[in-house]
Amino acid sequence: MSDSRTFKTVDIILPLDLSEDENEWRVAVAEKIGIEPGDISDIRLRKHSIDARQNIIKVQLRLEVSLDGSLPVDPELKPDLPSVPAGAKKIIIVGCGPAGMFAALRAIERGFKPIILERGKDASSRRFDLAPLLREGRVIEDSNYCFGEGGAGTFSDGKLYTRATKRGPVRDVYETLVAHGAPYRILTDAHPHIGSNLLPNLVKAIRNSIIEAGGEVHFQTRVDGFIKSSDGDKLLGVRTVTGEEYLGEATILATGHSARDIYKLLQQESIIIEQTPFAVGVRIEHPQPLIDSIQYHFPRDAERPRILPAARYQLATKIDGRGVHSFCMCPGGFIVPAATENDEVVVNGMSLARRDSPYANSGIVVTIDPIDTASFQKEHGVLAGIAFQKDLEVLASQTGGGKQKAPAQRVTDFLKNRLSNDLPPTSYRPGIVSAPLHRLMPRCISGRMQRGLKQFGKSKHGYITYEANLIGFETRTSSPIRIPRNERTCEHVELKGLFPCGEGAGYAGGIVSAALDGMRCADSACS
């Protein structure tokens, strides 16, 4: 702060019923720093989190206070990009997810012209293409929950919480999102979330900023070829399925974890890629009031107070050296079909901003090491992990009977290795079919998952219940492939001009970490 006024940041803890009262904030702050409440001239919330680990729910607040005058006004957050200079050098960006979009924003800031190539459609058109998927079980293979403007996150939740705080300026990512329409509360919530109903307009606003500054965004433009220098050592650009060529100073490959054709193209072009561990499992779905009662320690039939959000949870253990953990937990959410081809079933979770669905769902997944994919390696080589995923996805489709119906089992029956005679209600709109998931999944998954769920049931009393469905399969948690790059420059270890980026390249795991990686790759590509 440049002036002489006195500002302090103070952390306090309040009971839930007092946590929204600014007068109580002042009393608690005054007591903590040894002053009178009347000595506080101004006070502002900076961080908010709920601690429900004990029977008494508490709220942790971080407050900024002034003792002599008003706090400085926070700057208005709005898009503020410079215009791309005439004749600016071009950066080709393949993929319009968070990695690609934030790479484009950073390229503009660095004086370069980004050209984004996206195989799917814009967010508005993409929304219409979800209707046949949900109503008819028919996948439009380049426009679905995985492909299109904004990437896989646009219609699957928008959770922003990340542990990647050392990877870059997380706050800058949040502020950019707010500037383009995200709720201001993501700057203060400990576990920020936007919601699938708000994200489409947000990503459209980012796209408009890119175009207005002088960048380009091309939809329904699928890349199917690389253009190399005569000696094969440098990537000059890419070719699309329609034969168009896009050349630039560098190419940022930000395709997401489901662009399997890109991995095949890399393999065909003898561009080094490598197998990496990933995770596979199911979605577990409970009634949200049950999760609320477990997490908030109140009776099942009690109504959740308005100021409490739908409860979330996080579970993790190790079984025989492999991780078993919850993934992408969606309180008050829905399970959605995330397949990218019509012969497969893939499930994922999402929530709207209000998180007011009567269901809670989460992935329950098991780590898969390359050794687990050995039976696929002779035929598929380094793409064995993708073949492992695909095999499970096709099996799920066949078992469900087609039209995106998914195989399912009560969690209590799964633990007893028996077929469920009937199934609880579900949020999964294409429908579920009773199936022996304990037999369908490889034993390296089902055995560890059974033991992990039993452990979770001991720590979360009531979690293992006949009311909970397991729905298969959750296969797209991360990429089974890593595209190796120089740790310092982010450039591919052999092919100059190629910058593997984000979740699809194996360097991110969510919206914020992908955005940070996009910024980092753009910084290197533009240097």
For the chain, give the percent of residues with pLDDT over 70: 98
Neighbouring CB atoms inside 10 A of 380's CB total 17
Please state the domain extents for the chain.
7-66, 90-273+483-525, 278-474
Contact 118, 99 (CB under 8 A): no
Which pLDDT tens digit goes with each residue over 410-452? 999 999 999 999 999 999 999 999 999 999 999 999 999 999 9
* pLDDT < 70 positions in the chain: 1-5, 156-158, 164-166
The per-residue pLDDT for 142 is 93
**Between the CA atoms of 6, 9, 13 and 18, what dihedral angle is there, to the nearest 10 degrees?**
60
pTM, full prediction: 0.94
| Helical (H) or strand (E) element with 498 | strand 498-500
The per-residue pLDDT for 91 is 98
Which pLDDT tens digit goes with each residue over 334-375? 999 999 999 999 999 999 989 999 999 999 999 999 999 999
d(CA 456, CA 322): 15
Q: Domain 7-66's class? A: alpha beta
Contact 149, 219 (CB under 8 A): yes
β-strand pairing of 235-240 with 223-228: antiparallel
Contact 386, 380 (CB under 8 A): yes
The per-residue pLDDT for 156 is 67
- List Cβ<8 Å contacts ≥24 apart for 437-441: 437/282, 437/407, 437/408, 437/409, 437/470, 437/472, 438/409, 438/414, 440/392, 440/395, 440/396, 440/399, 440/407, 440/472, 441/280, 441/281, 441/282, 441/392, 441/472, 441/473
Contact 92, 498 (CB under 8 A): no
The per-residue pLDDT for 165 is 64
The per-residue pLDDT for 1 is 39
Return the CATH fold of 90-273+483-525: FAD/NAD(P)-binding domain (3.50.50)
The per-residue pLDDT for 328 is 92
The per-residue pLDDT for 2 is 45
The per-residue pLDDT for 71 is 92
Q: 117 forms bridges with which residues in the sheet?
A: 94, 218
